[in-house]
Amino acid sequence: MEYKKTTLNNNLRVVTVPKPGSPTTTVLVLVEAGSAFETKNINGLSHFLEHMVFKGTEKRPRSIDIASELDGLGAAYNAFTSVDCTGYYAKAANENFDKILDVVSDIYLHSTFDQKEIDKERGVIIEEINMYEDLPMRNVGDLFTSLLYGDQPAGWNVAGEKEIIKQLSREDFLKYHKDRYLSGSTVVVVAGDINEEDAIKKVEQAFVGTNAGRGSARVKILEEQSAPRILLKNKKSDQTHLVIGVRAFDAFDNRRFALQILSDILGGSMSSRLFQKVREELGAAYYVRSGSDLYFDHGYLGISAGIDNGRILQVTEAILGVVRELTNSPVGEKELEMSKEHFVGNMLMDIETSDQLANFYGGMEVVNGQILTAEETIKRIRSVSAPEISSLAKELFRNDRLNMASITPFEDREKLQNTLTLE
């Protein structure tokens, strides 16, 4: 799966990923406009703006004009906002490439940000925030990042705070769009059964009106911790949701491949150590898993579980026991190879479609500024050794990196704090 990266005269980056035989083509636009670039008084604006671009452009003045055109093409389309970026994409049959490119470039470049639509969409955003607050499996992840990073961009909710959402003005949208939606801060990815040279020319024409420049740098994240920390949100519920995790490193670090395998060994599959211990042996959880999130300047590994309310102490001790065992004993060759192949197999299945292929290559470019092909990534994964896993585990799994967030009716914070130790 070779790709081509082209930097246009205005510094807009175009990544083309040919996939011969693919029935669909995806156009994905990624812009450096996420919560990492916000200030406190506009927290949530990146995500709110992502909603607003679908509300109307100069060429397509109503939201129904955008939606009906894409629906009429049989397209799959959406948008997303993260810490590091905002993305807009459309995926359709190959013969509709020109049309989806026209729509996606139009909403990126020419959104009108109508005041009446902004006021209506506030209610939608607030209900989205309310929905996440009512989904403890999701909400506990936000609590965990808040615990790790506190009152700085990495610790803020990507969707924002309701009181801030209510106060954002049209001028805020216009200024943010002008300051961040710039050619040097944007990557356009085209993946599918394409002619690369033709696709690059069409992208150049479609985005000719992009403002030149690059957005200002993000505020550097501060990492401060000397002992295990805990954050409990007491809530009456039928199940306790928790995240136990440690600070790691950024997305540029060469140890990221070892981290992915370490995380897979812990909780990446039904045969993983945590799944076998917490679900199969203890019968205390429906879901238990491990995953790493690495960003431009920070990252962490987190273990998530939804458990019996009365067994939070037992499960916490069990999870930490599995972590200690991985830290203190070398990983066997059979388990290591199984984990590598599990990770590789899942990665290959993830990039079978044009939209996931676009995300795979575009995500690396917008965060890292450096792309590894699928083949190169597989090579790096398969080169991870047992000593690397042991060394990384010893480095990460320490009390001065350990954190736990939970949404639970359990109220004895002191007892839980005493349980939270890797020593």
Q: Which residues are catalytic?
A: 50
Residue 306 phi/psi, 5-degree rounding, is -115, 120
C-beta of residue 404 within 8 angstroms of C-beta of residue 420: yes
Rg (CA), the chain: 22
Residue 51 C-beta-side C-alpha neighbours within 13 Å: 18
Judge contact between 200 and 372, C-beta under 8 A: no
In the three-class reduction of DSSP (H, G, I as helix; E, B as strand; rest coil), residue 38 is classed as: coil
- Terminus-to-terminus CA distance in the chain, angstroms? 45
Do residues 248 and 416 make contact, with C-beta atoms less than 8 angstroms apart?
no
For residue 322, the SS3 value is helix
Q: Residue 57 has what DSSP assignment? A: B
* Eight-class DSSP state of 215: P
Distance CA 274, CA 280 (A): 9
Judge whether 90 and 103 are in contact, CB under 8 Å: yes
Q: How far is CA 133 from CA 129, 157, 244, 246, in A?
A: 6, 11, 19, 23
